[in-house]
Structure 1
Amino acid sequence: MRLSPGLVAAASALLVAVSGCTSFSDSTAPESSPATESSPPAEPEAADITWTDCNDQIQPLVAGRPGSERPLTFECGRTEVPISYDEPDGATMPIFLVRARLAGQTDRIGSLLLNPGGPGASGADAAIGRALTLPEDVLRRFDLVGFDPRGVALSTPVECIPDELKDRMIAAEPRPVSEEQLDAVFTLTQEAADGCAEEYGDALGTFSTTATARDMDLLRQGLGDEQLTFLGYSYGTTLGSTYAELFPDRVRALVLDAAVDPDADQRADAEAGAAGFEAGFDAFAANCTQLIAGCPLGGDPRGFVNDLLAQAGAAPIPSARAGETRQATPGVIMTAIQAALYSTTAWPQLAQGLAAAAQGDSQALFSLADTYYGRLQDGTFSNLIDANIAITCADRDPGQELAEEDIRALAADWGQRYPLFGAGAAASLYTCTVWEAERTPLPERDAQGAAPILVVGNSGDPVTPLPGAVDLAEDLESAVLLTWQGQGHTAYPKTDCVNGAVNAYLIDLTVPAEGTTCPL
């Protein structure tokens, strides 16, 4: 999975504050969704977006956060999109949006549509957070609009994996190499797939990226913009580049930050992820050992983690948090590590959390792991995991699925080559082999005829390594690559150099010179 931690608390509060969430049980589900890669975009008429003032609900969620002093107002919106673009006049599903506006806008350009990644992360949630952090120069010219893609959060959420099964999946062996370990992981995967197939049937195929890209064009029209201005992170780069392929003449500006490699098949993508996280852990370890106050993990953080995994494997580690009955298994520990590698700001918490776990308290590690997978304090989950799998598998070409024996062989191989993350990455390849849904494979993307597109890559990104951004920029006919020599996942808005280049592009459509690199 390629997931991005988000404002889980904010999303949870929005779920309570905003009524009218609709699922397939509330509307007419399609019997099938056989959209194909070659079918041209349908042209249904865009429905109006109904906006309501939800400032009173959102402002308490952001109070006290950096940027909360900005004079922002928030609106919540709803609109309808076709469930199947093969039947554009047929049954519809609701899409939920949040719009943030900065007081005192001048020379407004339009709306900046946002997707934070995942797949499965809430764009409405991201709009709340990014309204506090994006440069004010951009917010003075654009409304910031985040939407929950179909199947996500408040937009017809796909919900078919029970919370207790999610807990078991997270706690499972993270480095499965033996036949017994792989059997256990595959059994959990099959249980999740069976439950979703029983719950949704053929409707699982409606949650594809291609369908969401078509939804985005209806949102563009509903927002009153002649062309799309879009900011996509991680999986959001896949969504944005798919939009550009389907609607190249409707692109005003696309910022594709932390690009997913469009040329990598699922095996290559999984291996790149394993290698990226290994490099990310090495960067974390080097940073820790160079601390003036000393690294709480000692001089060999990798060895410390291996010892901690063995300790938790022998006896799961309890948490000191009041009322917490869970104990940290190796799966929880590795999930916490992955979560922290997304951002250097989480590295101190990870180091202290690993050290505390070795002393018998896993509280900090549970905090990281729960944020990563959308687990709330009451033990319930957002639908992040359900949506992540449903969207990922709806996009997969079934002809590229690997046989089970090949996955087992890769787990053994990658477990040696990428000791912390390789076996788990290999085992994840089993997920879509048992997922029963119609597939809409992603189109090849060159976006011929599109306006200039800005691809942003980070040399130290453990989640979407830099070669993916290089490939995406090469594939898109009009793309220019901006490289940041930094650590962590995504680059904008983290440094003045990156901010200046992206702001100039979004506002004035000025692209940086080919080969521009920003220092750390």
Structure 2
Amino acid sequence: MNLTQRTALTLALSSAAVVTASVLTVPTATAATAAPAGPAGSSLSWKPCPADLGGTAGTECADLSLPLDYRAPDGPQVTIAVSRLRSDRPEARRGTLMVVPGGPGGSGRERLARRGAQLQAATGGAYDLVSLDPRGVGGSTHAGCGLEKDDLELTHLRAWPAADGSIDANATRARRIADACTRNGGAMLRSLSTANEVRDIDSIRQALGEKKLSLWGTSYGTYVTASYAQTHPGRTDRVLLDSTGDPDPSRVGRGWLANMAGGADDRFPDFARWAADPARDRRHRIAERPEDVRGVVLAVARKLDQAPEQDAAGRPRLTGNRLREALLQSLYSDAAFADVARLVVTARDAGDTPVPYDPVYLPDSDAAVFLGVVCNDVRWPRSLPSYARAVAEDRRAHPLTAGMPVNVEACAFWPDGPADKPVRITPQGPSNVLMVQNLRDPATPHRGALKMREALGDRARMVSVDAGGHGAYLASRDTDGPARECADRLATAFLKDGIRPDGDTLCR
């Protein structure tokens, strides 16, 4: 099975309230310490977007030259690629809505190309819709680590322990990756961080001539968005956080990865029900009862742990960790259930016969962006024994992910500490935030979103959605239809009319 289309590394119950609503009021906030100034007087020269970007007719693209290092604004520059879909109802326009992509490593221009028409229709033309390819991504200036192909395989870049739980090989690889990034990444790699994406977004705001931005951040983009709102409280209009991680500034990316173990456990029962449904054919039905699916999957993975990664001719084979990674990726969306169920059934029925497999390899630039952001944002522990202990404990508690979420990564060998202190999200600022969050999100679990909700205090309201998968607003309604329709209705009312629920709400 080929899973190359799902290469994202992304990196997810409060008390229910009666769905009553009030018109949002935004009190005046005191200004926070500002980031270094952006390109005052910069302008954007819009032109039709490249044909290969696709998307809604009328979407425009532009490039903005910004400092590689904002502390040296007259020094080397990077190009940030921006796209825009202008309001189709100028009389209804209230401002600009910035679509902030996830990742780290997601393309905002691609997201706007896919979702622009849907978002424009939902919000009734209330906004010019704008997004960016963050530095290192897509049409923006690229970064690179010069990694070997084997190190770019997803189950190697994202460190899965050995069959016996050992992390020795992971530590060796992590050190090699960090050394390559240090040797080849240069100042561009060092510039990849949440703090610089926040600065880039504010520079785009200035170039657009907007006093304020509304923002819709998804996944990792929620941390970028929340950091922007914390750093520039007076420059935010309406803020929608969709699929949010724990904003603990001492952990940041390390914490998001660690939380995926529990997120996979939360989400797996949805897959188990699907894979035990009598409507499935024999190629996809893993067990007769949902409660038996987990045991079958774990048994197949253990059997595959004995398989080599390649056959004698160098052709890749399915291994236990490749199966676990495929399962984890499939939990993001019900649409991927069929592929991974077929893979489990094939491996189960193959006996001792090797199962061919097409591994996922990330482009070097994508790997560099992911590593650059998560390693530059916060210092990671250096002690290998501490990682070994964490992996042993996590493997016992969460067999589906087998210790990967807490394993040693290249960040443990990163040579430099953070260039910027991570932003601490606080209750100080305008009460203009709405959160939407699936209860069973494998990437940004609900429990992590509750930490963001707690940090924001009365600045936010939270809509929890009785649904599974990653991404809550304008997501597929193939399953959990009423809950998703409820969430879409509340989020759209907020973006369009400034109306939020009076309290935290559960959409069933």
So what's the TM-score if we normalise by structure 1?
0.80
CA distance in 2, matches of 1:78, 1:6: 28
Aligned to 1:303: 295
Q: 1:361/1:217 Cα in 2 relative to 1: closer, same or farther (>3 Å)?
A: farther
Contact kept? 2:436, 2:472, Cα under 8 Å:
yes
Any idea what SS the aligned residue of 2:246 has? coil
Could you report, residue by residue, the CA deviation over 1:399-434 in whole angstroms, capped at 9, with x for unpaired residues?
x62511111111111111111214111214x43110
Could you report, residue by residue, the CA deviation over 1:205-232 in whole angstroms, capped at 9, with x for unpaired residues?
3111011101111111222322111111
Contact kept? 1:497, 1:518, Cα under 8 Å:
yes
1:282 maps onto 2:241 in alignment: no
CA distance in 1, matches of 2:345, 2:91: 50
Q: How many equivalent pairs are there?
A: 459
Q: 1:333 aligns with which of 323, 331, 340?
A: 323
Aligned to 2:19: none
CA distance in 1, matches of 2:114, 2:345: 30
Aligned to 1:444: 424
CA distance in 1, matches of 2:308, 2:99: 40
Q: 1:290/1:517 Cα in 2 relative to 1: closer, same or farther (>3 Å)?
A: same
1:463 maps onto 2:443 in alignment: yes
Aligned to 1:247: 232
> What is the letter of the counterpart of residue 432 of structure 1?
C
> What is the letter of the counterpart of residue 436 of structure 1?
P
Contact kept? 2:439, 2:446, Cα under 8 Å:
yes
Aligned to 1:15: none
Aligned to 2:25: none
Any idea what SS the aligned residue of 2:185 has? helix
| Most deviating of 144-153 and 484-493 | 144-153
1:121 maps onto 2:115 in alignment: no
Aligned to 2:241: 256
Could you report, residue by residue, the CA deviation over 1:310-339 in whole angstroms, capped at 9, with x for unpaired residues?
3433335899xxxx9433333322221111
1:53 maps onto 2:35 in alignment: no
Aligned to 1:453: 433
Q: Which has the higher helix share?
A: 1
Note the residue ranges of structure 2 that are not aligned, 5 or more in a row: 9-31, 476-483
Could you report, residue by residue, the CA deviation over 1:420-457 in whole angstroms, capped at 9, with x for unpaired residues?
214111214x4311012341231111262334111122
1:98 maps onto 2:98 in alignment: no
> What is the letter of the counterpart of residue 275 of structure 1?
G
CA distance in 1, matches of 2:263, 2:239: 25
> What is the letter of the counterpart of residue 452 of structure 2?
L
CA shift at 1:252, angstroms?
A: 0.4
Could you report, residue by residue, the CA deviation over 1:21-66 in whole angstroms, capped at 9, with x for unpaired residues?
xxxxxxxxxxxxxxxxx9741123342222221264444xx6xxxx
Q: 1:231 aligns with which of 216, 226, 229?
A: 216
Aligned to 2:63: 78
CA distance in 2, matches of 1:265, 1:162: 28
Contact kept? 1:276, 1:463, Cα under 8 Å:
yes
> What is the letter of the counterpart of residue 498 of structure 1?
A
Q: 1:489 aligns with which of 446, 470, 488?
A: 470
1:384 maps onto 2:366 in alignment: yes
CA shift at 1:184, angstroms?
A: 0.8
Q: 1:318/1:89 Cα in 2 relative to 1: closer, same or farther (>3 Å)?
A: closer
Any idea what SS the aligned residue of 1:437 has? coil
> What is the letter of the counterpart of residue 502 of structure 1?
A
Note the residue ranges of structure 1 that are not aligned, 5 or more in a row: 9-37, 63-70, 375-380
Q: 1:434 aligns with which of 399, 413, 417?
A: 413
Higher relative contact order (CA 8 A, sep 6+): 2
CA shift at 1:250, angstroms?
A: 0.3
Contact kept? 1:253, 1:451, Cα under 8 Å:
no
Q: 1:114/1:409 Cα in 2 relative to 1: closer, same or farther (>3 Å)?
A: same
Aligned to 1:13: none
1:502 maps onto 2:494 in alignment: no
So what's the TM-score if we normalise by structure 2?
0.82
Contact kept? 2:33, 2:231, Cα under 8 Å:
no
Alignment of 1:71-220 (within 5 A): 72-101=57-86, 106-134=91-119, 136-138=121-123, 140-162=125-147, 164-168=149-153, 170=155, 174-176=160-162, 178=164, 181-201=166-186, 203-220=188-205
Aligned to 1:32: none
Q: 2:332 aligns with which of 342, 349, 356?
A: 342
Indicate the RMSD between aligned Cα atoms, in angstroms. 3.0
